[in-house]
Structure 1
């Protein structure tokens, strides 16, 4: 995985949410959570696995809405932050955090109703292997996002501490087919990249988001969007 050592550092885990989801990043947080909820609902009593759960942003949210969820991550420090969130939200009994390798998931076939991963595939060195494992342990649904190779993200990708793997839409569709999944829905968003929103005050983010979505709603929008959300079924 790209940036594996960086990602597991204690100081990265402690500052992760603040650096990415403060200022204009709050808008990103809301949009990503809405994308997950739109794809995964209804959640009552559903067995869910989150790959690369990190600090538990989505894990805790889904547990609050009735899911029984396992959060898997390679970073113990990240999951420690997630456990704090779960206890504060009163849903620790609905979440199990497990340190593990997404390429060799420690679960039997068809163990979960839904398996999903956010902000994971841009770090993946073997995406086909990871997606095949997600498919193997899911009996119904696989959901994930990718960063796109025709977007403004290309302009600053080299500045990131670990770099990012960028995908074309056709490449992702081939990965989905290769994993034995059927694509049921795809949404493409954020003409302006995440890094831009994180640099501006939250009070300005809404105005830029309006312009962003106006472009995104045109035929050009899908081609230049920086992020795609892929909803597939087994």
Structure 2
């Protein structure tokens, strides 16, 4: 998988949230949290797996809302940050963090009610195999996001330290079909790329975000959005 060495470095794990979700990046976190909660709710008693859970920002949020959740990541350093976050939130007893490989999930078939991954598929070398594994261990729902071709994401994609895979809508639909998943819902957002928001203070980012949403609600905005959220069910 792209960027594994970079992703697992101690200093990256320690600074990951601060670098990506401070300043205007808070608007990104707010949108992603809403996307996950809207797709997976209601959560009380639901058995959930998060793949590539990183520092646990979604894992902890879902545990706080009653999910029986496992967070899996390849980086021991990221998981350590997640455990600290869970302890601070008082939910350490209600979730489990595991180190593991998304290509070989250590769970039986149909074990979870929902499986999701955020900020994962842009790093995946073999997205079809990863999506098939997600489908295998879910008895109902699979949710994930992608960065999109033909969007502003492509402008700075080359500058990312690990590179990024971009997807067209037709490619995602082929992946879903190949994994025996049926698309239930899709949302497209962020005409302006994430890097733009992270580079400016929140007070400056907010007016840009309002304009982004307004244009994004138009047919043209939907086609040029840099991020998509895909909600699918197991057939």
TM-score of the two chains, using structure 2 as the length reference: 0.99
Structure 2 unmatched ranges of 5 or more? none
Alignment partner, residue 19 of structure 1: 19
Alignment partner, residue 187 of structure 1: 187
State yes or no: 1:44 paired with 2:44.
Answer: yes
Aligned counterparts of 1:219 and 1:53: Cα–Cα separation in 2: 32
Aligned counterparts of 1:22 and 1:122: Cα–Cα separation in 2: 21
Cα deviation for residue 171 of structure 1 reads: 0.2
Alignment partner, residue 215 of structure 1: 215
Aligned counterparts of 1:93 and 1:170: Cα–Cα separation in 2: 41
> What's the CA shift string for 1:175-227, capped at 9, x where partnerless?
00100000000000000000000001011111001110111011101111000
Cα deviation for residue 174 of structure 1 reads: 0.5
Secondary structure of the corresponding residue to residue 122 of structure 2: helix
Please list every run of at least 4 consecutive aligned residues from structure 1 whose deviation after the TM superposition is greater than 2 angstroms: none
Aligned counterparts of 1:188 and 1:217: Cα–Cα separation in 2: 9
State yes or no: 1:7 paired with 2:7.
Answer: yes
Aligned counterparts of 1:219 and 1:29: Cα–Cα separation in 2: 25
CA-based RMSD of the aligned residues comes to 0.4
Secondary structure of the corresponding residue to residue 219 of structure 2: coil
Aligned counterparts of 1:17 and 1:145: Cα–Cα separation in 2: 18
Alignment partner, residue 105 of structure 1: 105
Alignment partner, residue 82 of structure 1: 82
Aligned counterparts of 2:198 and 2:54: Cα–Cα separation in 1: 19
Secondary structure of the corresponding residue to residue 174 of structure 1: helix
Alignment partner, residue 143 of structure 1: 143
State yes or no: 1:201 paired with 2:201.
Answer: yes
State yes or no: 1:172 paired with 2:172.
Answer: yes
Cα deviation for residue 112 of structure 1 reads: 0.2
Aligned counterparts of 1:232 and 1:51: Cα–Cα separation in 2: 16
Structure 1 unmatched ranges of 5 or more? none
State yes or no: 1:68 paired with 2:85.
Answer: no
Alignment partner, residue 128 of structure 1: 128
Alignment partner, residue 34 of structure 2: 34
Aligned counterparts of 1:85 and 1:45: Cα–Cα separation in 2: 21
Cα deviation for residue 148 of structure 1 reads: 0.1
Secondary structure of the corresponding residue to residue 166 of structure 1: coil
Alignment partner, residue 57 of structure 1: 57
Aligned counterparts of 2:164 and 2:223: Cα–Cα separation in 1: 18
